């Protein structure tokens, strides 16, 4: 592993599973952590807000039980994602819960993470922040985050337009913290490629949509399995921020994927209640361009084992020591 922070020494694969709205369940997070990958979920997945404490309790109890019976393969830490946008009326309560429960890693998105950094650092936790360009990266670094998540072209959900080759190279010139890279990373080979570019950890979401523990409908899972890279559309129409969605779900919802208008200057909407009820979050499905590398639905343990094998084979192919 290239990371030295004590919280990350339990990783058996240099990867963080990204928090996926609705899809990231307690079961998925626990399975990811048991497999040696950082598992994460959006705080907004626990509804109502009071349920967040119960979710954290369930995750911690199951991981503690795993560690007691697997002392030589302890679970990786878990992370909770907080949306910082002003429309999220749960932010203060969710942050207070994370601080009280001393959540190991907090992933922040869409806003200034300074207050979260101050609160989480008091108890020794880590804060990683999503960015899609240099401007956002520098603002987050000034706020004191421990890691920058570079969400590049091809990532599922809200994603940037930049090539990872461009964004990683620029950020590494001035940022000394952890660099996480997201964007169509679905194979062990991709994880090694991310490290070769200078990233410390891969950031993977879409790969786990096909996991049997993911909280999505069978139709959504099948759409992920059926889609090629060209089956993804990139638009700001549905949330006010550009994101990648499954083309088939956009068409099924009654839109023409080839003639989607720009939303323009309309207000972004990340409010907890609106996210739970809005059609986009239920019927228009997010996924990244890495869907074409996903061939079957299987459990998280099997996915992690496949990634580990592919990662090791890629290292050997390039003349590195096996892991």
Residues 6+ apart with CB under 8 A from 289: 153, 154, 155, 183, 184, 229, 232, 244
Phi, psi of 17 (to 5 degrees): -80, 120
Cα angle 280, 299, 230; round to 5 = 45
**Domains along the chain with CATH numbers:** 6-216+297-317 (3.20.20.70), 218-289 (no CATH)
pLDDT tens-digit profile, the chain (323 residues) = 346 678 788 999 999 999 999 999 999 999 999 999 999 999 999 999 999 999 999 999 999 999 999 999 999 999 999 999 988 999 999 999 999 999 999 999 999 999 999 999 999 999 999 999 999 999 999 999 999 999 999 999 899 999 999 999 999 999 999 999 999 999 999 999 999 999 999 999 999 999 999 999 999 999 999 999 999 999 988 888 899 999 999 999 999 999 988 776 445 556 555 555 556 667 899 999 999 999 999 999 999 999 999 999 999 999 887 66
Instruction: Reply yes or no: is the peptide bond before residue 307 cis, omega within 30 of 0.
Output: no
Whole-number Å distance between alpha carbons of 166 and 117: 27
Length of the chain, in residues: 323
Report whether 153 contacts 167 (CB < 8 A).
no
Nearest to 66 by CA among 102, 107, 34: 34
Q: What is the DSSP letter of 211?
A: B
Whole-number Å distance between alpha carbons of 285 and 232: 10
Q: What is the DSSP letter of 120?
A: H
């Amino acid at each position: 592993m290239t990371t030295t922070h004590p919280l990350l020494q339990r990783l058996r694969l240099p990867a963080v599973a990204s928090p996926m709205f609705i899809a990231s369940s307690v079961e998925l997070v626990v399975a990811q952590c048991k497999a040696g990958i950082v598992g994460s979920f959006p705080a907004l997945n626990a509804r109502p807000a009071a349920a967040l404490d119960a979710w954290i309790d369930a995750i911690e109890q199951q991981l503690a039980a795993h560690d007691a019976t697997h002392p030589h393969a302890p679970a990786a830490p878990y992370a909770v994602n907080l949306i910082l946008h002003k429309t999220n009326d749960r932010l203060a309560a969710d942050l207070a819960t994370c601080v009280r429960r001393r959540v190991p890693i907090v992933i922040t998105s869409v806003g200034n993470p300074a207050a979260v950094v101050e609160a989480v650092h008091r108890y020794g936790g880590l804060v990683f922040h999503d960015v899609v360009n240099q401007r956002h990266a520098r603002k987050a670094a000034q706020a004191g985050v421990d890691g920058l998540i570079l969400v590049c072209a091809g990532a599922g959900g809200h994603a940037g337009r930049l090539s990872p080759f461009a964004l990683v190279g620029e950020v590494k010139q001035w940022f000394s913290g952890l660099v996480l890279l997201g964007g169509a990373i679905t194979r062990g080979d991709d994880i090694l490629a991310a490290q070769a570019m200078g990233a410390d950890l891969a950031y993977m979401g879409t790969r786990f949509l096909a996991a049997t523990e993911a909280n999505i409908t069978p139709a959504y899972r099948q759409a992920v399995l059926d889609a090629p890279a060209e089956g993804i559309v990139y638009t700001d129409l549905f949330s006010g921020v550009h994101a990648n969605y499954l083309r088939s779900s956009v068409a099924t919802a009654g839109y023409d994927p080839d003639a989607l208008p720009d939303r323009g200057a309309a207000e972004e909407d990340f409010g907890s209640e609106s996210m739970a009820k809005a059609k986009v979050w239920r019927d228009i499905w997010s996924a990244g361009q890495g869907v074409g590398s996903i061939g079957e639905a299987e459990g998280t343990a099997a996915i992690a084992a496949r990634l580990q094998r592919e990662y090791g084979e890629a290292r050997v192919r390039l003349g590195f020591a096996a892991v």
